[in-house]
């Protein structure tokens, strides 16, 4: 048999090298900590298949019974050993159907592979506080602040050596560097153009549109601004924007489709800035794609800004970005900052999807409750100590289960969609 030995600094790196060398169906025979990292012994799946014996005809008469020999008491093996023993027994006994046996062997190999990977991940995260206290601190702080395990693991892999306080400072500085924000309002209010505010129902599109309109009017005057709304679905859906427009002295136009939008933009071509308040709908609604296409067929470049509701769960925000970024996004605005218990999920989403954060919406007042995004404030606010302990806070003993469980779900999802 062709047993391969892999030595790497971390279990994650060892698993990556194993996949590259032997493929995803390789069988892990053993793993242990060695000086300088982790050692993994593995066997290619082809070697297991080669162990399958040729089909032989079973004897017509059974051999005479043999005297039963005394047996040692049975000791219940570990789960991985149980799988290996069953695997060897299945290979050793001839089958009436060789192909069926091969499929069964491959199936058990994959099951064993996933079980051992899960155990390796569990051991890795359980050992993290003792092996790398600074890394455990970074992981614990990021998860407690609402950041995703994906981003936390990414930072952990690149974290320089040092103490816990140095690790915390490095982590926060790294997050600030990766968080993209506009440097000044000139990028939006002075350059002009057509801007569409997009997002799910209740994300704050109409109120934010009014806040931006008020800021523009103060700086340039009402005659250089126009407001459009595509909300023809809700009864009186555009009335709120019309009220804001009347107060500001800005005309508001309603459009229903791409043809209406092209016509309206053509008539408003002399305006310095046009703000479009789009209709709100669930990110899972198929009409989201139709709305994006309508903006792309307007005959004029439209910068699309996505509203990210800071009170939403991270998975929900991920769905929102995936739904609205089909033709690209020019940035985002974080809304309902004042209502969010944690900014981690929204900042995590902006960082991972590389969205340029333009503004922070903190309330209902127009135009006061709209502020330019500030990296230092956002990261500080994300890790600000809470007065009350969160019921979702994980302790050290639960951290390993959570992280290894997340990895197992990701592997199963990859297999299901692969």
Tokens of 247: 């107060």
pLDDT for residue 174: 95
Q: Count Cβ atoms within 10 A of the Cβ of residue 145 and give its class: 0-12 exposed, 13-18 middle, 19 or more buried.
A: buried
H helices present in 310-368, as ranges: 314-324, 344-352
Within 13 Å, how many C-alpha atoms sit on residue 5's CB side? 5
Supply the DSSP string of 156-205, one letter for each residue: HHHPPS--HHHHHHHHHHHHHHHS-B-S-GGGTTTT-EEEEEE-STTSSH
For 108, other C-beta atoms within 10 Å of its C-beta total: 18
Superfamily of domain 187-373: P-loop containing nucleotide triphosphate hydrolases (3.40.50.300)
- Provide the terminal-to-terminal Cα distance of the chain, rounded to the nearest Å: 29
Quick: pLDDT tens for 55-98: 455 555 555 555 555 554 444 444 555 555 555 555 555 644 55
Nearest C-alpha neighbor of 277 from the set 297, 298, 295, 296 = 295
* 332 beta partners: 306, 357
pLDDT for residue 346: 96
Q: Look at the block and give the residue holding tokens 């924007």.
A: 241
pLDDT for residue 120: 53
Query: How far apart are the C-alpha atoms of 408 and 52, rounded to whole Å?
Result: 30
pLDDT for residue 52: 53
Q: Are the C-beta atoms of residues 195 and 302 closer than 8 Å to each other? A: yes
Q: Count Cβ atoms within 10 A of the Cβ of residue 353 and give its class: 0-12 exposed, 13-18 middle, 19 or more buried.
A: middle
Query: How far apart are the C-alpha atoms of 348 and 317, rounded to whole Å?
Result: 10
pLDDT for residue 76: 44
Nearest C-alpha neighbor of 209 from the set 311, 294, 335 = 335
Tokens of 261: 């939008």
Q: Are the C-beta atoms of residues 135 and 166 closer than 8 Å to each other? A: no
pLDDT for residue 127: 57
pLDDT for residue 118: 55
Query: How far apart are the C-alpha atoms of 152 and 176, rounded to whole Å?
Result: 14
pLDDT for residue 299: 85
- Biggest CA pair distance of the chain: 105
Q: Are the C-beta atoms of residues 349 and 321 closer than 8 Å to each other? A: yes
pLDDT for residue 65: 56
Within 13 Å, how many C-alpha atoms sit on residue 311's CB side? 13
Low-confidence ranges of the chain (pLDDT < 50): 55, 72-78, 95-96, 387, 414-418
Q: Count Cβ atoms within 10 A of the Cβ of residue 189 and give its class: 0-12 exposed, 13-18 middle, 19 or more buried.
A: middle
Tokens of 84: 């290996």
Domain boundaries in the chain?
1-50+81-127, 187-373
Q: Are the C-beta atoms of residues 350 and 180 closer than 8 Å to each other? A: yes
Within 13 Å, how many C-alpha atoms sit on residue 20's CB side? 7
Tokens of 230: 């595509």
Q: Are the C-beta atoms of residues 100 and 55 closer than 8 Å to each other? A: no
pLDDT for residue 415: 47
Three-class DSSP category at 3: coil
Q: Is 299 left (phi over 0), alpha (psi -120 to 50) or beta?
A: left
């Amino acid at each position: 048999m062709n047993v391969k030995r892999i030595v790497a600094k971390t279990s994650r790196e060892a698993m990556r090298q194993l996949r590259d060398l032997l493929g995803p169906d390789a069988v892990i025979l053993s793993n242990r900590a060695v000086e300088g990292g982790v050692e993994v012994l593995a066997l290619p799946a082809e070697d297991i298949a080669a162990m399958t014996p040729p089909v032989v005809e079973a004897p017509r008469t059974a051999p005479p019974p043999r005297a039963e020999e005394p047996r040692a008491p049975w000791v219940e093996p570990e789960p991985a050993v149980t799988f290996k023993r069953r695997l060897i027994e299945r290979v050793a006994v001839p089958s009436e159907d060789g192909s069926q046996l091969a499929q069964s062997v491959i199936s058990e190999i994959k099951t064993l592979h996933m079980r051992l990977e899960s155990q390796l991940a569990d051991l890795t995260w359980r050992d993290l506080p003792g092996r790398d206290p600074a890394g455990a601190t970074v992981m614990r702080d990021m998860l407690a602040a609402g950041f995703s395990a994906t981003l936390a693991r990414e930072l952990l892999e690149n974290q320089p050596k040092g103490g816990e306080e140095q690790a915390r400072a490095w982590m926060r500085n790294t997050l600030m560097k990766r968080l993209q924000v506009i440097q000044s309002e000139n990028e939006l209010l002075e350059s002009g153009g057509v801007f569409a505010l997009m997002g799910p129902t209740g994300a704050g599109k109409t109120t934010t549109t009014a806040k931006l309109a008020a800021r523009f009017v103060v700086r340039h005057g009402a005659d250089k601004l126009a407001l459009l709304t595509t909300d023809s679905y809700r009864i009186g859906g555009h009335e709120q924007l019309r009220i804001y427009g009347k107060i500001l002295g800005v005309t508001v136009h309603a459009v229903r489709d791409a043809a209406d939008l092209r016509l309206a933009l053509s008539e408003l071509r002399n305006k310095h800035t046009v703000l479009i308040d789009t209709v709100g709908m669930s990110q899972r609604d198929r009409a989201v794609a139709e709305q994006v296409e309508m903006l792309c067929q307007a005959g004029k470049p439209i910068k699309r800004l996505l509203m990210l509701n800071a009170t939403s769960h991270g998975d929900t925000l991920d769905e929102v970005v995936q739904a609205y970024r089909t033709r690209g996004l020019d940035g985002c605005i974080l809304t309902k900052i004042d209502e969010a218990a944690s900014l981690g999920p929204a900042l995590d989403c902006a960082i991972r999807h590389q969205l340029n954060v333009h503004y922070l919406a903190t309330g209902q007042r127009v135009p006061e409750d709209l502020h330019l995004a500030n990296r230092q404030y956002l990261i500080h606010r994300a890790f600000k100590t809470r007065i009350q302990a969160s019921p979702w806070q994980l302790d050290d003993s639960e951290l390993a289960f959570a992280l290894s469980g997340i990895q197992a779900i990701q592997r199963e999802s990859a297999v299901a969609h692969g």
